[in-house]
Structures are given as structure tokens and as C-alpha cells.
A and B are shown apart, each in its own frame.
Chain A
Amino acid sequence: MSGPSTYVPKSAFARWFESRLPIVGLVHSSFIAYPTPRNLNYFWTFGAILTFMLAAQIVTGVVLAMHYVPNATMAFDSVDHIMRNVNYGWMMRYLHSNGASMFFFAVYFHMFRGIYYGSYKAPREVLWILGVIIYLLMMATAFMGYVLPWGMMSLAGATVITNLFTAIPLVGVSIAHWLWGGFAVGNPTLNRFFALHYLLPFMIVGVVVLHVWALHVAGQNNPDGVEVKNVERDTVAFTPYATIKDVFGLSVFLIVYAWFTFFIPLYLLDPDNSNMANPLVTPSHIVPEWYLLPFYAILRAIPDKLAGVIALFAAIALLAFLPWLDTSPVKSAKYRPLYRFFFWIFVVCCVGLGYLGSQEVSDRGTLVSRILAVGYFGFLLIVLPLLGLIEKTKPIPASIADAVLVKAAPAE
């Protein structure tokens, strides 16, 4: 998407068309001739996987929307109708509900890969921030989608999340009423959530286009974190090299997706959502979907409601500031031994918070949550800025080609 295209139209029609709308040239320069670092590993296939998941969610979602009724008295039954009566409706629904989980599964690999290899550093700050915006939009979309089947956990989840806004001083309750379209989560809420759940994915598509654009301007980061110096030596063409690798990665990923969809479709769904929402009954144990659990654990770890909500949003918002929180000039954790150690501590904190978020509140659980939350924020706010100043990094290779050659012929 950057620089003049190297595309040469072959037929007369292609030349005619290209001089009027150079879209073929755009695709050619973005996905065929585009140079990709030759040392990329399989963690770099998650971009393609995520693009596929977004498309899959939109396709299955549009089909489901044709049969779904966004009405508080009919929504639950309409989902049951999709499961029983619509041809392959069960498949569409299980692909969609498990697809959301797979989408997050892939995005977490994608994000942790970015953090591990320092992909957010100059000149990719805007690329990274666009990614954080996509992540936020994904969470909002997934949350609203979870409300649509109008099960017990849908209602409980919608109530808990929208109630977060009541923590805002003075205007909080008014904001919550405005969000609900009433005095509690009800039919107006369900209606607007359906409208927004249909809208937001297309906003995600828009930001993804910007994300890919920014990527193709800055070029990809790579496991060695050194910029491309010599296109000839350091890179390979996107097609066929990156394409075949991405397609292979996607195919393996689809095996996992298919396993969940066809053999354990209920594994990630809360059984309480098979009971229709009833404002008079609250589930004994409210849990969000797994991909939001770490943030839920942070929320619950803090005794004060407003402080908890601030911490919850800060935990996400801080990610956008990573390019400036990390002060080290070296990108890849491969050459940063201390950073690598703390990175895995950070991963353990995130996974631990996720587990505790799924458990019922207990004194010991809250204590461990607090320790892990300190670990989460400590990594972002203390470790990252300090490491850049004190860490002794390993020598980085002069170029990508050098790094590849070292790997191909290890020192004898």
C-alpha cells in the first residue's frame, strides 16, 4: 500500500482498468509483491488468521441475524428455533459463538507476540494503537453479542457491565439509564445491543484496513527486531512465501476451531445461558466469557467500585501507551534476557487473573488476584520503563539476513 506499484497490467483491458482505478495494482503491491522479512515465525500467521475470523464472524453473523428476533420475549426462543428448525442453524450458531472465542484466542497470540518482539516500537506506534482500538471494539462487540441470546448470564452480564458506568460520580446513574433505555436492562437494551452488534464488526473492518495500511507503510517487525536494510537480502515476496505460510497456519488453526465447534461446542458457553433471562432470578455466580476474565478479576480485586472500574479500563488503556512505557531501544525479547523473564511473568499474571476471574470470590482468591494485578500493572508501569535503563542487552544482528545465516549455520 506504500510507494508506487510494481504491477504491470498484462492485457489491454487490465491496462485500461488500471489507469482508471488502480485497485489491482493496490492488491498486487499489498499482497503479492509486498516484501516480508524472511525470518518471520509462525506467530506472524495470526494476522491472516484474524482476518479470516473477522470474515467468518460476519458471514455466520449475517446468517444468524436473518433468523434471530431482537425482542426480550422472543429472543431466547428464536435462538432455540435456530438450533432446532433452521437448516444447519446449529452449525451457524456454534461456529459463531465458538468463533468469538477463537477470534480472541488468536488476538491474544497476536498481542503477546507483539509484546514479546517489541512490535509496538517506532515506527509502528500508530499500527499498535490501531490494534488496541480493534481489541476494544472486539470486546464491545463480543459483550453485546453475548447479551443477544437473552439467557440468564446474558442478562446478568449486561447488568454487571452497564452498572460499571454507575460508578462515575454525579452523571453515572444517568449514563446507565441512557444506555439501558429504561431503568434496568430490558427490551430497549436488547434492541440497541443488536443494532450495535451488527454495526461494530463493520467498524472493526474499517480499523483493520487502517491497521493493514499502517503495517504496509512501516513494514513488518520480525523475531530479531531489526529493520529491513536490504530488500533483496532481508525479505521475500509476500506471495508465495508469506501466503503459503499463512494458509498453512490458518489450516492448522481451523482444526482447533472445528474441534470446538463440532465436538465441544458447549465447553466455553455458560450453561446458565440455556435458561431464559429472568429479571427476578440472578445466577449464583456471574462470570463473563473467558476472554474478559483477567479484567473481571482486576475489577473484583479492588474493594472500591470506582477504583475498580478505573483499574479495569486502565488495564486496557495502558496497552495503547506501551510504545512509550517501554524505554528500551532493542525490540525483540530475543536479545533482552531480563525483559524475556518479566514477559513470561506478565503472561503468568494474565493467565492467573483469568483463572481467578472464573472462580467464586474467596479471601485467598482475592489476595492472589491482588498480587497478580500488581504484577500486571507493575510490568507495564515499572518494569518496562526501568528495564530500558538498566538492562544489558545482547548484541543484535546487523541485519535480518545475518540473523537467518547464523540460524542456518550455527557456530561450529
Chain B
Amino acid sequence: MIRFKTSIIAPAALALMMTAGAIALAEAEDEQPNPPQQSWSFYGIFGKYDQAQLQRGFQVYREVCSRCHRLSIPFRELADPDGPGYSVAQVKTLAASYQVENAEPNDQGNMFKRPGTPADLFPPPDAFPNDAAAIAAMGKAPPNMNLIAKSLKYERGFPTFIFDIFTAYQEMGADFIYAIMNGYTKPDDPTWNLYYPGHKIAMPQPLTDGVVKYEDGTPGTVPNYAKDVASFLTWVAEPTLLERKKIGFRVIIFLIVLSSLLYLTKKKIWADAH
């Protein structure tokens, strides 16, 4: 048994936490606002991707982001039934609409381009031949998008970061992408973004109302585009999310039952030892 003077320790611990909290607050004041938390279909224990939303998000990527941002995933992933869920035929047609450089040269030793297959990666964008060219033109190379949703972070702060453990909040990246897309709040300064660290962003505002025509009747507004593309990029970064949560749910139910049985066994075995 652990018995200690909670009357003395608790105030000490509380004082420490408050000091730490005050430090965090003092630091937060002179910085930019945190991206507001959005509601996502893939949040939480039973969260899963919304197929129509991912397809819309892919459309936004294809028509807007892909001009500058590379996405190094194979076309075949788009047929993932837990993800955008395109049919194999659709993916084949889509892949064939891209010109992909063959990995090996032809008989004459020349590199050549051919229509893509589902096994090929999305080809790099045409806008810049390499990162140096992008940096020369934009000031910064557009990051590869395949892990971008997992690479963004902001301070969750105390005590939110503790609650995140129990609410299974993992959507920092999606919140961040959504916030950046909606963060161009100074029309006279195209390089200013409310949520980008330091506010100076190299990417000019990529999404404006009506820039993408949705086929399913969803209104073409920036918040809708942002939500859809953030969902799409989350799927790109974490395509196994649904499988993971499904298996995890079974594992935890199993372990709870096992633990209960083990506890009863333990009680029975120890009954004669006391």
C-alpha cells in the first residue's frame, strides 16, 4: 500500500502544473492562433473515411495541388475500399491518362514516357523540374504530400494533450491543413497566412470558391474544398487507419475479457494464501 501525505504533495504538484501552464500560456500569447479543431469522420475509436469525401478531395488534389505538389503513392492505392474506393477499371483509366517515365531506357538507350499503370507512382508535377527550381521561383520547395498530414503539428497545450490520450484525438494534421487553406485572411498580402508558423507562407492561396466543380452537387466553397482535401491527405498518410481501428477494437475487447478472467483466476488461487 502506498500512503503518503496528499495534503502536502497535491498542492505542490498543482503549483508546479500551474507554473508550467502559465509558462505555456505566456508563450502562446505572442504567437499565432492554433488551428481550430474540426470534426472529422475518421476521428475516434469508430472513425472511418467518408468515401465520397475522399473522392472529392482527390479531385481537388488532382485539379489544384498536383500542379506543384508531388504525391508519391501508387495509383492502385486509390482502389482501396477503405479509402476512396475507386473501381479497378477506374484506376486503370486514370493511371493511363498520366504519362510516366519508364524506369529503364528503351533499346536505343533513351528514357521514354509511356501511359501509367496502377502500379506506377503518381508522376512528379510539371511545374518545376527540381526542388532548386521551385526554391528559385517560390522561395521554398512544395513538400511531397504523401505524409504531410502526419508531419504537421501545433502545441495542444496543457491539459488538452492529456485529454487527447483518452479521446484518441490524432487529427492535428487535418486540422492544420484545413486551417491553412482558410488562413489567407489578408487579401492585400498573398503571402500572409493566419495559421502558418510565422505567417509568411511561400504558397499563394491555392483554393478559391468555385475553382473546382464537384460532380456530386457539394457546394464548391473553400471550407468544403479544405475539408475534403484535408481528409484525402489524411487517408494518403494513413491508409490503414480503418483496418488499424477495427483490429484494435477486437484486441482491446479480447484483452479486457482475458484480464477479467485472469483476475478471477488470481483471486481463486490466492484465496488460500491469506
Contacts and interface: CB of A to CB of B under 8 A. Distances in A.
Nearest to B20: A355
A261 B244 CA distance: 9
Interface in A252-306: 252, 254-255, 258-259, 261-267, 270-272, 274-275, 284
Interface in A26-41: 38, 41
Nearest to A266: B170
B99 interface: no
Q: Which 9 A-B pairs have the closest CB atoms?
A: A262-B248, A274-B151, A271-B153, A248-B262, A274-B150, A274-B147, A251-B259, A263-B168, A90-B240
B197 interface: yes
A244 B1 contact: no
Contact of A284 (B9, B77, B170, B197): B197
A343 B2 CA distance: 12
The majority secondary structure among interface residues of chain B is helix
Interface in A198-219: none
A336 to B, nearest CB: 11
A368 B23 contact: yes
Contact of A248 (B1, B245, B248, B266): B266
Given A262-B252, A364-B26, 8 more contacts: A83-B240, A90-B244, A223-B1, A241-B273, A259-B252, A261-B248, A272-B151, A275-B151
A232 B169 CA distance: 52
B103 interface: no
A84 interface: yes
7 contacts: A84-B240, A116-B2, A263-B170, A267-B164, A271-B152, A341-B9, A348-B13
A19 interface: no
A70 B16 CA distance: 43
A267 B164 CA distance: 8
B259 A80 contact: no
B27 A41 contact: no
A344 B4 contact: yes
Contacts of B256: 255
A226 B263 CA distance: 27
B247 A91 contact: yes
Contacts of A267: 164-165, 170
Nearest to A407: B1
A408 interface: yes
A245 B266 contact: yes
Nearest to B2: A116
A241 B73 CA distance: 53
A356 B273 contact: no
Contact of A368 (B12, B13, B20): B20
Interface in B243-262: 244-245, 247-249, 251-252, 255-256, 258-259, 262
Contacts of B3: 334, 340
B20 A248 contact: no
Interface in B135-162: 143, 146-148, 150-153, 158
Interface in A337-363: 340-341, 343-345, 348, 352, 355-356, 359-360, 362
A267 B156 CA distance: 11
A365 interface: yes
A351 to B, nearest CB: 8
B172 interface: yes
A271 B173 contact: yes
The majority secondary structure among interface residues of chain A is helix
Given A259-B252, A364-B23, A248 B270 contact: no
Contacts of A340: 3-5
B147 A80 contact: yes
B27 A360 contact: yes
Interface string B1-45: 111110011001100100110111011000000000000000001
Contacts of B23: 356, 359, 362, 364-365, 368
B239 A84 contact: yes
B117 to A, nearest CB: 16
B244 A271 contact: no
A261 B170 CA distance: 12
Contacts of A116: 2
Contacts of B170: 263-267
A228 B184 CA distance: 71
**Among A94, A245, A258, which residue has the most Cβ atoms of chain B within 10 A?**
A258
A58 interface: no
A341 B4 contact: yes
Interface in A303-333: none
Contacts of A247: 262
Contacts of A407: 1
Contacts of A334: 1, 3
A236 interface: yes
B222 interface: no
A240 interface: yes
B169 to A, nearest CB: 8
Contact of B9 (A265, A344, A404): A344
Contacts of A241: 269-270, 273
Contacts of B251: 258, 262
B68 interface: no
A216 to B, nearest CB: 21
A236 B271 CA distance: 12
A302 to B, nearest CB: 19
Given A236-B273, A348-B12, A352-B20, A264 B168 contact: yes
A232 to B, nearest CB: 12
A240 B262 CA distance: 12
Nearest to A345: B12
A262 B151 contact: no
Interface string B62-88: 000000000001000100000000000
Contacts of B252: 255, 258-259, 262
A254 B252 CA distance: 9
A245 B237 CA distance: 41
B151 A251 contact: no
